[in-house]
Amino acid sequence: MSIVVVGSVAFDDITSPSGSVTGILGGAATYFALAASYFTQVRVVAVVGEDFSPEHENVLKKRGVDTRGIERAAGQTFRWGGSYAENLNEAKTTFTDLNVFEKFQPRIPKEYDDSEVLFLANIQPTLQANVRRKMSGVRLTGCDTMNYWIQGARKELAETLKLVNVLLINDTETKMLAEEKNLPRAAQKVLTMGPQALVIKHGEYGATIFFRDGAFGTGRHPFRAPTLPIDEVKDPTGAGDSFAGGFMGYVASQNTLNREVLKRALFYGGVMGSFAVESFGTERLQALTQEEIETRFQIFRELTHLE
């Protein structure tokens, strides 16, 4: 099944203990699209400025990503700067220039109309809801959000959550959204807000998926997929978006949708996130092999497999 991702394409300045880079291709939609491209056909909806060159677009095209939904606007592309301290856990934003992204109004090309899976990357919740409503053929919608919207646009976000099937956020965002400190209880509360499944990303410790009872199967047992840094962590930027790309991409590649598929998808999310952090920007995600992906899947599977 084809998957449409709506989100940011950006140029990033990044400093980590491993070095510094300037103006490299980034943005949630970019990381997501590259990660998902190893599993299924990906279509991007985004906005870029006049500084977005054919070379930039080719990074996506080389991976077979459909870029017809990338709109060119007058002005500059979204730029973000961040730096990571020794522990690499949190980026300190040094600047945010929204540029053309500030007035982003997602337009879905007609050619995308037959897409059955949709991923709403982290953008303003009402824009997310509008996109979902426009795409009537979509059977499964994934969604990301962030503290900024949870705190500043709670009402709009609540409307969006009613329209999505799987929400992918981190521990802090889950507790903030649920206004509840205990994670499993927070998860159950979020599942009453709309999504049938909630994926909580734990960063370097993997992710847990919680299911609403009756959704994709029965029971309320959650599932955890681990992750482990395999190589050096050079740049954590985009790890969460690459996780989402691996997760949603694997789901979209399957003919059936049940808990076993979602559990395996959680592992593939961890796999793609772990590749993303091994290089600055999207470099590692641009040229993976299926064998590398399967090998890491097996390593992560063995990591928690009890005989």
**Which residues in this chain contact a copy of itself in the complex, by CB under 8 A?**
17, 86-88, 181-184, 202, 204-206, 208, 221-226, 228-230, 232-233, 260, 263-264, 267, 299, 301-307
Q: Pick between residue 143 and residue 186 the one whose CB is nearest to a copy of itself.
A: 186
Q: Pick between residue 113 and residue 260 the one whose CB is nearest to a copy of itself.
A: 260
Q: Pick between residue 24 and residue 176 the one whose CB is nearest to a copy of itself.
A: 176
Identify whether the C-beta of residue 17 lies closer than 8 Å to the C-beta of residue 60: no
To a copy of itself, the closest distance from the beta carbon of 247 in angstroms equals: 14
Q: Pick between residue 127 and residue 183 the one whose CB is nearest to a copy of itself.
A: 183
To a copy of itself, the closest distance from the beta carbon of 285 in angstroms equals: 20
Lookup: tokens for 188: 């159950």
To a copy of itself, the closest distance from the beta carbon of 301 in angstroms equals: 6
To a copy of itself, the closest distance from the beta carbon of 258 in angstroms equals: 11
To a copy of itself, the closest distance from the beta carbon of 222 in angstroms equals: 6
Identify whether the C-beta of residue 213 lies closer than 8 Å to the C-beta of residue 255: no
To a copy of itself, the closest distance from the beta carbon of 166 in angstroms equals: 18
Lookup: tokens for 285: 């995600």
Q: Pick between residue 55 and residue 86 the one whose CB is nearest to a copy of itself.
A: 86
Q: Which of 42, 58, 30, 37 is nearest to 3 (CA)?
A: 42
Q: Pick between residue 166 and residue 233 the one whose CB is nearest to a copy of itself.
A: 233
